[in-house]
Amino acid sequence: MNTPLTSQGRLAQQQSLLLHALFSPPSRSESTPWLRAPSERGLQAYRANAGVLAERALRAAYPVVASLLGERNFAPLAREHWREHPPVQGDLALWGAALPEGLRHHPQLVTLPYLADVARVEWAMHKAAGAADLTLDADSFGHLTRDDADTWGLRLAPGTALVSSPWPVVSLIQAHTSGSPSLDDVAQRIQQREAQCALVWRAGMRTTVAACTPAECAFLQALAEGKALSHALTLAVDGGEDFALVEWLQQAVMRGLVLGAVPALPDNEAFS
């Protein structure tokens, strides 16, 4: 025998059905038994509003992806992503992390193989914009001359991230955000399949993306993992490129990429 639902139980059931209907394609929710005609009109309004929110949130995080796809394609993609990966937090600025992987495996985007990596860089930029503030600690650099290089690393700017790609992802983003390089130039780089490593960081209030060499990428990745400066430098030199540490460090401090020296993590604690 079925136990009658309390009013609280009915409310919970209706909330569950509503969420299911909102995040399901229309064909799956049309048969939801408690949604009568007036409620269905309300549900359509909820869906329309959710679609607008999805577009707005994803466009804020992925403006270049939106530009590459165009309005006609980006709008349905945003709604599809909302259904497949609904937000789990109230702040929609935190939603959208799953989009790069979704783009990578999307059957209708196989002709844009670089799109997922562009999205990875844009999400890193989006995260960097909201990273905690840090300030320059100029005095800490004295440890690099006084102490063992095996025990000190470098403190990187908020939101520092590295994204390696077989495509010219930095050029793609810069072409759409600053106009340089030109789109024709980027098209040639795509044809030549020029690989780039994107370096993302926030200098003050400005989030920046720049291409870096394989040596610099290896060097910075080691520092980001908390490893010692000597270890990071070995990785850079092993890449077969000239890497002038003093000159690089001066430029990195001026660009707001390096904010000081920090004790390196022991090898068994550094992230692998």
Over residues 18-65, the pLDDT tens digits come to: 445 545 555 544 444 434 444 555 545 555 566 678 899 999 999 999
- Residue 153 sits at φ, ψ, to 5 deg, of -125, -165
* Same domain for 192 and 224: yes
* Same domain for 90 and 190: no
Whether residue 107 is contained in a domain is answered as no
* Same domain for 126 and 52: no
Q: Pick the closest to residue 150 from 229, 221, 224 (CA basis).
A: 229
The secondary element (H helix, E strand) that includes residue 60 is: helix 37-61
**b or e along 140-158 (b: 16 or more beta carbons within 10 Å of the residue's beta carbon)?**
bbebbeeeebeebbbebbb
Provide the pLDDT for residue 149. Answer: 78
Q: How would residue 253 be classed by pLDDT, with cut points 50, 70 and 90? A: very high
Average pLDDT of 124-145? 93
Whether residue 259 is contained in a domain is answered as yes
Last residue of a domain, one of 33, 67, 96: 96
User: Domain total for the chain?
Assistant: 2
Whether residue 2 is contained in a domain is answered as no
* Same domain for 251 and 210: yes
Q: What is the pTM of this model?
A: 0.81
Range of the domain at 199: 112-272
* Same domain for 130 and 54: no
Whether residue 30 is contained in a domain is answered as yes
Average confidence score pLDDT of the chain: 84
Provide the pLDDT for residue 3. Answer: 52
- The strand order across the sheet containing 161-165 reads 161-165, 196-203, 206-212
Whether residue 192 is contained in a domain is answered as yes
Whether residue 101 is contained in a domain is answered as no
Last residue of a domain, one of 49, 64, 96: 96
| CB proximity list for 233: less than 8 A, separation 6 or greater | 149, 219, 243, 245
